[in-house]
Structures are given as C-alpha cells and as structure tokens.
Structure 1
Amino acid sequence: MEYLKQLDQVVLSTKKAAISLLSAQSSFQDTKSYYHTEEPSELPLYGLSPPVYPSPTGNGSTSVQWSSAYAMAHALVSQMTVEEKVNITHGWPGICVGNTGEVPRLGIPALCFADAPDGIRGQEFVSAFPAGIHVAATFDRHLMYRYGRALGSEFRGRGVNVALGPVAGPLGRIVKGGRNWEGLSNDPYLAGAGMGSITRGIQDTGVIATPKHWLLNEQEFRRRWGQDVKGHAISSNVDDRTLHELYAFPFMDALREGAGAVMCSYQRANHSYACQNSKLLSGILKTELGFEGFVVSDWDGQMSGAASANAGLDVVMPNAGFWGANLTQAVKNRTVSEDRLSDMATRMLASWHYLRQENVFPPPAFYTNTQKHFPVDVQEDHATLIREIGAAGTVLVKNVNHTLPFKNPRFLCVFGYDATVKATPWDNRDRYGGGYDVNHGWNTFNGTLITAGGSGSTTPPYVISPFQAIQARIAQNRGILRWDFWSENPTPYLNTEACLVFINAYASEMSDRSSLADDFSDRLVLNVASWCDNTIVVVHSAGIRLVEAFIGHPNVTAVLMAGLPGQESGNSLVDVLWGDVNPTGKLPYTIAKSEADYGNVLDSAGGRTDEDFFPEDDFSHEGLFLDYRAFDKQQTEPRFEFGFGLSYTSFSYDDLTVSLVSGSVAEYPDPKKPIVQGGHPDLWEVVAVARCTIANTGDVHGAEIAQLYLGIPGEDEATPIRQLRGFNKIGPLAPGESREAGFELTRRDMSVWDVERQQWRLRGGRYTVWAGASSRDLRVKAEVVVE
C-alpha cells in the first residue's frame, strides 16, 4: 500500500510526472492511486478496476480448431528469438493502415490491418457498404451475415489479414456520440446478433475480424490523452453488472463466432486505461470469456510499456509505441516475463493459423491515388447486396392515408441538400480533396449522406443519389421533375403530385454531435409543407434525429428514416418509394419528442470540464436503463420507440406460447465444464422456446420483423421492465397468409450477472414474455415459471 501512496503523490505532483507514471514499466497499472485515499478500506467499491495478474496464457483449449492453430503457432514461436517475438508484436511502416513485423526465416509475413467496419477505406475499386447502424435497422441476421461475408471477401481480395470491425463500442450510451453510427444499436441483444453474424461472415472468408472497441468507449469528447485539453482521457466508471449485461454482452456473440482479434479502446475504464486494464483484458476477456486471439491497441492507444504488456495487450499499433527495443529490454530485465512475450506472439500467430492464412493468401494491394497501378477490383456483385440492405434498413415512420408507395406519379418535386451528391453552389471542394474528415466523410449541406466521418467511413466507387434514382424512375414514365437542392424556401409548384424533401444529420469521429436537429432543415421542411399538401420527408442520419418540428404538420404525409445506406442509396430508396420493396426496417434506437427526454446520457456527460485533469463519467446514473429501457422505466412517451417501423400492409399476432426445454434448470452454469470462447458453454444452451402466429391482414405481400421481449423476475429496481431477447423476419407473406414465428431463449438471455458469485445467474420465478411489432407495440403475452 505504501507503494500505491507514493504513486498517488507522483500523480498529484505535476502533469509531467503523471505522464511518466503511465509510461512506467510497472505491473501496478490498475491505478487505485487515482482514488486519493490513505487505506485500502477507504477505496470505493464502485469505479475501481481491480488488478488481474498474470495475464492468462492462450492454449487453444476452447475448440478443436483453436487447438490445432495453437499447436502450429507454438511450433513457430519456440524457434523465435526474443527480438523476433518483439518484432511481430508492434506496428511497422508499410502500405496498410497497420503492418506487423515479419520473420522471413520462418515464413512469417507482415500482417496487413485495414479499416473499416463498412468497407475498405481510401482505396479504388472497393465497395461502400451501409453503416453498422443501418444494418442493425434491418433486424435480419441473414442479411447481417451476408454483409459480413461480402466485407470479408473484399478485405481478402486486397490482401488484408485483419479487418478492423465490427463495432459494438460505442454501444450508443451517449445519444450525441460521434461514432454511434459505426455500431449496431444501443440494445446489447440486437448489437450482439449483428456482431456475431458479421464476425462469422468476415471470418468465413479467411479474414480475421476485430470486434471493437473493448470496452466502454462511449464518447468522443476527451476520449484520448490530451485530445481536447492537456489532461487524461475520460474515465468511464461502471459497475460490474452493467458492464456485463450491457457493454460486454454483444462482444460475447462475436467471440462465440470465433473472433481472432479484439481492439482495446482509448479512454480509461474505472480509472485505468483500457489498453492496460488487466481486469478488462486478462480478467474478463481472456479468462471469463475464454478469448484465444490477440488484443490489438487502437491506433496510438497504448499508454504504457511493460504495464500494458503485463495487463494483456498483445499487439500495439501503428508503430512500436512504448515497446520495440524497450520491450526487449523489459524481457531481459524480467519486468515482462518471456512467457508473456511468447504468449503475445503465439496469440497473434494462432489467429493467423486459425483462419488458415498460412496457406494461399493474397499479398496486400494498397495504393495512393497518385500511384499508377493495375486496378485490383474486389467489388464483385456487392452492389446488389448493398441495394438490398439499403432498402431493408430504411424505416418508414409515418404514412398517412397510404401516401406511399407511389402509384405511378408523373410530376414530382425534389428539394433539399441531401438529394444529390453535391448540393451547394458555393462549395467547390473536391469530395476527396480535403483532410481526414472531408476525404472520407459526407458533411451536412455538402451532398447526400451515405456514410459518416472518420476512420469508419467508406470510399465509394460511385454514389447513386436519391435525385439520380428518382429521375431515372420518372423518366421511364415520361414524367416531370422540378428540383431545388439548396434554397431554404423553394419555389412552389402547385401542380406537383408530391414533394420529397431530403435532409440529413451528420456525425464524425473526433467529436460528438452538437444537437439532434438543425433549424435550417426543419425550416426547409415546414416551408415546403406550407404549400405542398403531400410532403414526404427523407432523413439520412448518422444517429437519432428528432422530427418534432414537422412530424405533426398535416401536409407532411410520410417520413422515412433512411439511415446511412451506402453507395446504392438512391436505388434503395426508390425501391421503397415505388413499392418494389415493402419496408421492413425497424428503428435501432428510440426517437424522443425532445432532447431532454434522454436525460443525462444526451451529451458527453462528465467530460465537459476542460480544467479537469482526470475527467470522469459515472455510468451509475442510468445503469442498465438505456434507450427504451429508460423510457419504459420513466413512463416517458417517445415519438417513435425502439423497434418501430411501418409496412405497406398490416399484421396480426396470436397464440403466443413459451415453454422450458427441460423441466428444471440449474441456477448457475455447471462449474465442471471448461470455458469456451464467448464464455461458459451453458450460457449458449437453449433454455426456453417461444412461438406465436403472424398473419398478413393487409392487401399486399409483406414481411414482418417480429420481436420478443423478456421480463426477468425479481424485486430489484436495477432490472429493466423488459428487454429485447429475440427477433425474427417472417415472410414475405401473401395477404391472408400466416406463419409461425419461433424464438429460442438461451440461458444468457434469461440470466442476470451475479456480482457476488461472479457468474451469470438464472433467477427462479415467473418470466413474462411479450411478442410484437416494437418495444411498445406488444401484441401478445405469455408467462413461464422457472423453478
């Protein structure tokens, strides 16, 4: 304890000393010293990241495939010198976003790492896929898998060993978070379904998937050391139960599908930097969840040398960071054991073997736009899939008197900066002629939004804008269009059959959003609606976008939340507008009536005080109650709830039943069974099955996204009223046709995290099950008793 006191004084003394502390080669990286206390008994139980040492050694015991991969990796590492092991654990200059070192004499190549979770960034002849949040809005596991597989095939075609995605961190806690669009919704179950399906799809092509960012990376403001001010990154302080049931939950699905890598995040977690947090890396990820692959730092996210190695970091990017020759010296003076170094190298090579990349794998093919080179085209027919996902993730939230689908219109007006690729006449920037954000982002008032900004954005080969696709469709019928892309108050055309108004809401890495709406766009909609009695609003959005300013206007007859649909944006939208596709998209978040309805998670809470050298954000304010869970608890009426989305037809729900697979179920998983990657094997066993009948009661073909919500018994106020625990796409169904929807509930789905036992616990009692069309539109209800 005296040692910790001394560290505490160093932290308090000067900023320079604080930096020295974090780069120190000390295994006491889980900084209890951030709590300025005198005795261990005074340390608070909340916000503490307890030390977990030593970092567990991977051995391939979780599956036959991993066992075989580890055998081959061990054979290589046993022949390597300390310097060679060090050489492959950090980044080197190269043509990819990240490149490891190589060991030519043993046939170990440099591995290529590349962005992004929705397409290869910064390259030609690659596809721009829909963003993660748009894929989540499909509520379709099959599409999620196909999306991952198509991504993986493009990464493999360009020689990328490690694809940096998918994303469930941020989960979306901060409503204005700048990177929420990269993730797969703020519900852990939906995000987990996406993480698992996409990871499996990527790795089925032989590319290593990298679920990120582990863990609690929920805001951009002060996410990094010295990013906005001279001081530490924000500390995300979270209790053990919330950490497991919300933030780690979706990563479990990715691990279950065999993820070969995990990327740790920038910020502090319970006062310890995430890439040197032994509890998160060694305790939860590698021990509790049985992770066999390697942990790679976010780019320049390493904040210490020996400390990060001992805590469980395996690879540092994009350069040597605090490692390189320093790590060699640390091993030689035993600050870091050679066993830990060997494990770092073995884990990376095991993932390489696990995906069979030691066999035929294409060399990296990355070029700048100033290099003359033979085109390496990996697009295949992915445009067709992108178009399909674009339509499937488009959410219809208002449709008065069957305004949509269009019925052979011949005169349409198109308004708004989001309708075309380049809108404002005063902006002459080349789309790919600016810096980090301008190159790969699509800014408000600078054209239609198909992706958002930062490292997660895409580089489209082309963009089918809404106007382009609408014009082509109208031309088929020899109709007429009038358009105005930039005026706030366009000229009226009173003979038009409908007016389409296109607006967007942008977001980007490096900063959080300033608001959930903008006055210019709202005024544009209202100005058009003031004279056009059939105004249809299309919103391309990087996250939640409030619509309260215009949603109730009697002349606003339809509203579509069109997300971030990728390069086929216009075609996807026209498929829905004209009814070639009956919309099935559902909101992956709740749209409130006002910003205040989101409470303390609206903004980057805890990080707004620039003078704080150690800023903190307390997740205990809301605990498990994010999004619809909070709205249900507070009985707040949303504008459009989580899971909401209209169809051109209607559906009924009947005959919900739920039954246990066996008569009795143990309270805790069997302690005799070994852990598999993704957690205890019992967590993935089906405990109960629910079934209901869905019927098409309308007059057109259509499919329904049936959703299952579970109420877990217990008297505690910490458990949400209901939580999403299943979804199933039923159909398409013909008018009058019905079909059974089935939902399997695993032990994890029905359990809570027991903090005292440090295990998932299946509570005894009466479980309530609801099925319906959204988190608020619950049509049928049943119960099952677990004894």
Structure 2
Amino acid sequence: MGYEFKRKGVHVALGPLVGPLGRVATGGRNWEGASNDPYLTGVLAAETIRGIQDAGVMASLKHMIGNEQELYRFPTKDTLNRTVDKLLNGLLKTELGFKGFVVSDWDAQHTGTAAALAGLDMAMPDGQAFWGANFTEAYLNGSVPISRLDDMATRIIASWYKLGQDKPSFPSIGIGMPYNLSEPHRIVDARDLASRSTIYQGAIEGHVLVKNHKNVLPLKHPKVLAVFGYDAKAPPQYMPNRNNLRTNPFLLGYEASFNQLPLALSQTQIDWPSQLQIAINGTYSVGSGSGANSGPYISAPLDALQRRAMKDDTVVYWDLAMEPGLSGFYEAADVCLVFINAFASEGMDRPGLHDDYSDGIIQTVAATCNNTMVVIHNAGVRLVDQWIEHPNVTALIFAHLPGQDSGNSLVDLLYGDAVFSSKLPYTVLKNESDYGDMLYHSHAIAPYSYYPQSDFTEGVYIDYRAFDAKDVTPRYEFGFGLSYTTFEYSNLRIVKSEGAYAGAYPVGKIGDGGQVDLWDILATVTATIKNTGSMKGSEVAQLYIGIPGGPMKQLRGFDKVWINPRKKVKVSFDITRRDLSQWDTTVQKWYLHPGPYTLYVGASSRNLPLDGTLYI
C-alpha cells in the first residue's frame, strides 16, 4: 500500500489509509479513501492502522484534510488555496492528542520556518531545500524555538520506541530496490502465503450487487455465455519498467491505460479528454497513482469465466473489440456479460461520471440480449441511468478495484460459490447535475484568476447528508447493496447507560482521539435481523442518528452479521458521547445538545424500517 520508507532505522508504511472524502464527485483520488462518510472512513482506517502497527510498522495516514481535488494541486502561479481551519497544531496535536510525528508527502514541503511552526515534523524525501542549513539558522536566531525542535525529534524517536523498533527481535532494515531494475540486485520475495485468503476475501467484499432482476443471479450452469467490453481481458502489458521506478506503469496502476495516458500528468489542466473516463486497454484492478500496487498476477474476468466454462461445459463467446452499433449472435446466449470501467488517477480529476462509449456498448448488447448483466470496475462513483432501466439489463455489479483476484472473486460471486454482502460507501445519483457545486473541482475564476479558491462552506453536508437536506432522490443510496437472500428488521430497543455523565461539554483529560469522556457510552441500541429467504447470507445493519440542529441522519454504527435461512441474529450498537455531539465553534469543544435524538436502524441510509428516540 503506497510507499515504505526507512530513515535511521525507522520503518514507516505510507499509504492512502485516509484519502479524500469524496467532497468533489469527480476527484481523481477518491478511490484512495474508504468512503464518502467520515465515520465509516474513521472506523476502517483505525482497523487498518492496528493491523499495520501490530506488525511493528508505523502507519502514516495520507492525506489529512483538504486534498479533495487534483487540479491546481502543485505550487504554481495558480495554486489552489483551500480555506479550512488551522489543523496540525490545533486539531491534530491538541484536540485529538496525537503524539506521533507529521510527515510531508513526497516533495510537498514548500516553506521552512512556517512549516515547522505550523506543525510539520519530518520532510520527505528530504528537507534540504527549506530546512538543512536554513533550519539551523532559524532556531539559532529564534525564528523557531528550541522547544519546537525538541518536539519534532521527540515525536519521531518516541514513535520508534512505541512500535518496538529498538528491540533486537525487530527485523533488520530492508535492502530496498534499485532505481534501475536491470542492474544486478538481490531479489526479495516478500509475499506471505498466509495472506492469500485475506486478499481474496477483500476482493469478494469489494463487489456490490445493486440490481438482480427476478433473481437472475446466481448463475445456474448457463449453456451459452457471451462476454463483451474492453474491461474483460487482461492488460496487454504487465511488466516492470527497467529504467525508472517512479514513473513505472507497473507500480502505479496504469497497466490498463498505458499508451493511452501520459504518465507526466498536469495538475493544472482543467478539461481532460473524455476518453480518459476509462482505461481502454484491459481490466481495471487497482486505482492509478502513488497509492497503487501490482500483485504477482491479474486474474482477468474473461480468463476466470473460461475456466468455469470448462468445468460446467458452457460455451463461451466473446467480442471485446466491439464498437457501439455493431451486432452479433447474441440471441444464442443465455447470459451476456458486459465489462466496462471508470478510470481515476492521481494527477488528474475525472472528466465526468459516465462515458457515452461504454454506455453505448451496454445499450447495443441489451438491444438484442434479453439477459444482459453489467460489471463495472470503478474507481469512484459511476452513473448508470442511460441504461439501468432497460428491460434487458437484468443485473448490475459495482466491482470497484478487486486487485489480483478480480476474475476469480467475480466468478465465485456470479455462480453463488460466494455471496454478495457489501454495501455502497457512497451515493450514486441519477444525473451529474444532481451533484451541484460538488460535481467538479474548484476553478481559477475572477476575482481569483491567479489564486484559485476552494471554500469548504458545505461543512458536513457531503454525499448522503447533502442529498437528504436537498431532497435529491438517488439511484442507489449510501449503504445500499443486495444479497442472494432477504432480511427483516424488528425489535428495536434503546437503553440509556445508568450514571453516565451527560453534561453539555466533556470534562475529561486529553487522550488518544480527544478528551477521554467523549468515548463514554451513553446508550446501547439493539435490533433483531431475520434471514427471510432460502439462502445463507450476510447483512450489514446500519445505525443512523439525527442530531438536533445537524443533518437529518448520520451514520454512527454498523455491524455485519452472518445469518442462516429462517434464522434470527441480534445486533448491538454502543452510542458514545462523541456520536451525539456537535462542534461548538465558540467554546471550541464538542457540545452535547439536550433533547430528543432520533435513532434509525436498517439496511441503507434510505431503508430504515426501525426508528426510536433517545432523550438526553
């Protein structure tokens, strides 16, 4: 995941553990984030951090806040100015009690004294341009107090000790990779066979089924299966570039778009060609940019389907070079699978949320094949309303970015050897215009023609919270996803915690994540879920809370439970003071509003059959 760097024996994993929140729908790096919801993103990031640091490796969250578009990202005459409250010293190190060190992205330090005073502790890949001898002068003449220098060093060294990297049992520093792979070097195989099942299961969990008309899935030994679309095959090249690791398409996830996309992307180009909506040269298994990686193989969908066809004695036809408007012998197929993708990359924001070329392929196939299933490998939101209501489009899967087991995992899901159980971490609307001001990046317009301005005036109203407030009807709402079975919710119970402090503001000392009593449990919510279908399956139960004066509802809990047919399972959610609080900009603390809070439990942000009231 991203880079790993070693400095003075310190092992740090740099990866997009927390990417953009999807504030801008066409943001080029939205795929690096876990979700458009901050609660879900926070929970998943915390679990990822624990996993990395349990192995003794420091986890570095990138990027903190505000990196919501690629346009005007780098310092030029028209660098984007993002207006957000002061973050590093005030929010991160004081309010949240962060004791680690703050590290810049590669070549992202652009000031010396100001960066140090603002809270930057380490510059990568080095700080010679702005620090070095200049920094020595800065603390000698008092521009940077010695206490700040001590704090920087303490945070870095303390992190080294916290992860046990000082112990003799800690593995020695890795040997790294040569800049030129053609040079003689020792090859290290860092793969762990024990991780194979985790990688595969991650691919399974990344698929979201959103349409399954008359239960056409799972497939039941089709006699003839036809495959269409540029995304079904493996990319024509999957080979490391021997000359330059940093611009290597093999490492940066550009395999499916190589020869189509310039690797030296410009962050100041406003209107990208529409063909950059897709990666035309093969299946899109990982996002593109410095957060990408490349596995030991790519299981392409067509390859995996052919292996299954050999087992089932199914006939497979395919036409992956089809242009919209051409016709084929679709009538013979029991099932037509169309594979398209939605490309996104660091270095550019997406031109839009759909492309006419891919939509044309789907419409052409659906015009003749009465059982057309669509699979989209999408690095972000992808609109589907040009064809989703076509009577011959029977199924739709947002496959996202499955990695090396792309085809293997998809085929297991299509045939029911694995079950769909995941939900959308973002909202899919019906039209691009429905996203309003949050569709595209901020531009350089008067009076900021040379200093583009991006004001985060929407506050917390991003994705479903904004669409709820504006009464926008989505195609597929946040948290939506189908299974091969059905579920029923009942028996909502809300129990307040006895003796819990419920004053207006927290009074505890600062710990990891803020004042410690922010995490006091004020109530517990339980509900019962029954599998009402005939197949086994997992359901993601979701808890939303309507906070007085805030959004209509915000995600505040989720639980994924496995339920056998006709059986019931109880789910439980603890509600903390922080879950119910709003930030008071005057007092600069989390405020617990007295009064009623509406609680909802259900299957998605707009399918919430259970609701009740919690009084504070």
Structure 1-normalised TM-score? 0.71
Offset at residue 607 of structure 1 (A) = 4.4
Deviation digits for residues 716-747 of structure 1, max 9, x if unmatched?
xxx1100111100011x111100101111111
Offset at residue 338 of structure 1 (A) = 2.2
CA distance in 1, matches of 2:157, 2:327: 60
Structure 1 counterpart of 2:192: 380
**Gapped runs of 5+ residues in structure 1?**
1-95, 101-108, 112-160, 239-269, 271-278
Q: Does residue 753 in structure 1 map to residue 599 in structure 2?
A: no
Structure 2 counterpart of 1:234: 80
Structure 2 counterpart of 1:210: 60
Q: 1:365 aligns with which of 143, 152, 175?
A: 175
Counting only pairs closer than 5 Å after superposition, residues 130-169 of structure 1 correspond to structure 2 as 161-169=11-19
Offset at residue 438 of structure 1 (A) = 3.4
Offset at residue 327 of structure 1 (A) = 1.0
Aligned residues of 2:19 and 2:34 also touching (Cα < 8 A): no
Counting only pairs closer than 5 Å after superposition, residues 279-298 of structure 1 correspond to structure 2 as 279-298=86-105
Name the aligned partner's letter for residue 771 of structure 1: V
CA distance in 2, matches of 1:363, 1:461: 23
Counting only pairs closer than 5 Å after superposition, residues 32-47 of structure 1 correspond to structure 2 as none
Counting only pairs closer than 5 Å after superposition, residues 139-288 of structure 1 correspond to structure 2 as 161-226=11-76, 230-231=77-78, 233-238=79-84, 279-288=86-95
Offset at residue 437 of structure 1 (A) = 7.0
Structure 1 counterpart of 2:423: 586
Tell me the secondary structure at the aligned position of residue 135 of structure 2: helix
Deviation digits for residues 401-428 of structure 1, max 9, x if unmatched?
11100012232111111111126xxxx7
Structure 1 counterpart of 2:464: 628
CA distance in 2, matches of 1:614, 1:315: 28
Q: 1:728 aligns with which of 548, 559, 562?
A: 559
Structure 2 counterpart of 1:445: 280
Name the aligned partner's letter for residue 328 of structure 1: T
Structure 2 counterpart of 1:327: 135
Q: Does residue 302 in structure 1 map to residue 109 in structure 2?
A: yes
Deviation digits for residues 201-222 of structure 1, max 9, x if unmatched?
1101100001121221111111
Q: Does residue 398 in structure 1 map to residue 211 in structure 2?
A: yes
Aligned residues of 2:220 and 2:415 also touching (Cα < 8 A): yes
Deviation digits for residues 650-705 of structure 1, max 9, x if unmatched?
0000011112112564234443x321121111112211110000000001111100
CA distance in 1, matches of 2:197, 2:475: 33
Counting only pairs closer than 5 Å after superposition, residues 530-569 of structure 1 correspond to structure 2 as 530-569=367-406
Q: Does residue 311 in structure 1 map to residue 121 in structure 2?
A: no
Q: How many residues in Structure 1 have an aligned counterpart in Structure 2?
A: 580
Offset at residue 480 of structure 1 (A) = 1.3
Distance of aligned partners of 1:669 and 1:361 in 2 relative to their CA distance in 1, 3 Å threshold: farther
Tell me the secondary structure at the aligned position of residue 709 of structure 1: strand
Tell me the secondary structure at the aligned position of residue 296 of structure 1: coil
Deviation digits for residues 39-92 of structure 1, max 9, x if unmatched?
xxxxxxxxxxxxxxxxxxxxxxxxxxxxxxxxxxxxxxxxxxxxxxxxxxxxxx
CA distance in 2, matches of 1:610, 1:198: 43
Offset at residue 168 of structure 1 (A) = 2.4
Structure 2 counterpart of 1:504: 341
Q: Does residue 783 in structure 1 map to residue 590 in structure 2?
A: no
Q: Could you tell which deviates more after superposition, 171-180 or 473-482?
A: 473-482
Tell me the secondary structure at the aligned position of residue 659 of structure 1: strand
Q: 2:483 aligns with which of 641, 644, 647?
A: 647
Structure 1 counterpart of 2:222: 409
Tell me the secondary structure at the aligned position of residue 387 of structure 1: helix
Deviation digits for residues 636-661 of structure 1, max 9, x if unmatched?
11100000000110000001111211
Structure 1 counterpart of 2:274: none
CA distance in 1, matches of 2:133, 2:383: 52
Q: Could you tell which deviates more after superposition, 747-756 or 436-445?
A: 436-445
Distance of aligned partners of 1:370 and 1:610 in 2 relative to their CA distance in 1, 3 Å threshold: farther
CA distance in 2, matches of 1:166, 1:632: 29
Name the aligned partner's letter for residue 93 of structure 2: K
Structure 1 counterpart of 2:604: 774
Structure 2 counterpart of 1:701: 536
Distance of aligned partners of 1:768 and 1:485 in 2 relative to their CA distance in 1, 3 Å threshold: same
Distance of aligned partners of 1:214 and 1:616 in 2 relative to their CA distance in 1, 3 Å threshold: same
CA distance in 2, matches of 1:432, 1:418: 23
Aligned residues of 1:302 and 1:308 also touching (Cα < 8 A): yes
Offset at residue 374 of structure 1 (A) = 3.8
Tell me the secondary structure at the aligned position of residue 330 of structure 2: coil
Counting only pairs closer than 5 Å after superposition, residues 636-715 of structure 1 correspond to structure 2 as 636-662=472-498, 665-671=501-507, 673-714=508-549
Structure 1 counterpart of 2:266: none
Structure 1 counterpart of 2:161: 353
Tell me the secondary structure at the aligned position of residue 391 of structure 1: helix
Aligned residues of 1:648 and 1:702 also touching (Cα < 8 A): yes
Tell me the secondary structure at the aligned position of residue 436 of structure 1: coil
Deviation digits for residues 519-555 of structure 1, max 9, x if unmatched?
1100000111111110000000000000011101111
Q: Does residue 436 in structure 1 map to residue 244 in structure 2?
A: no
Tell me the secondary structure at the aligned position of residue 724 of structure 1: strand
Aligned residues of 1:169 and 1:216 also touching (Cα < 8 A): no
Name the aligned partner's letter for residue 726 of structure 1: G
CA distance in 1, matches of 2:119, 2:505: 26
Counting only pairs closer than 5 Å after superposition, residues 55-204 of structure 1 correspond to structure 2 as 98-100=5-7, 109-111=8-10, 161-204=11-54
Aligned residues of 2:381 and 2:427 also touching (Cα < 8 A): yes
Structure 2-normalised TM-score? 0.91
Tell me the secondary structure at the aligned position of residue 459 of structure 2: coil
Offset at residue 757 of structure 1 (A) = 1.1
Aligned residues of 1:172 and 1:185 also touching (Cα < 8 A): yes
Tell me the secondary structure at the aligned position of residue 164 of structure 1: strand
CA distance in 2, matches of 1:430, 1:532: 37
Aligned residues of 2:103 and 2:124 also touching (Cα < 8 A): yes
Distance of aligned partners of 1:377 and 1:771 in 2 relative to their CA distance in 1, 3 Å threshold: same
Name the aligned partner's letter for residue 461 of structure 1: P
Name the aligned partner's letter for residue 249 of structure 2: V
Q: CA RMSD in A?
A: 1.9
Distance of aligned partners of 1:355 and 1:608 in 2 relative to their CA distance in 1, 3 Å threshold: farther
Aligned residues of 2:490 and 2:610 also touching (Cα < 8 A): yes
Q: 2:144 aligns with which of 324, 333, 336?
A: 336
Offset at residue 110 of structure 1 (A) = 4.3
Name the aligned partner's letter for residue 759 of structure 1: K
**Gapped runs of 5+ residues in structure 2?**
258-278
Structure 2 counterpart of 1:68: none
CA distance in 2, matches of 1:402, 1:712: 38
CA distance in 2, matches of 1:370, 1:675: 52
CA distance in 2, matches of 1:378, 1:668: 52
Structure 2 counterpart of 1:479: 314
Tell me the secondary structure at the aligned position of residue 468 of structure 1: helix
Aligned residues of 2:330 and 2:336 also touching (Cα < 8 A): no
Distance of aligned partners of 1:303 and 1:400 in 2 relative to their CA distance in 1, 3 Å threshold: same
CA distance in 1, matches of 2:34, 2:573: 21
CA distance in 2, matches of 1:608, 1:677: 41
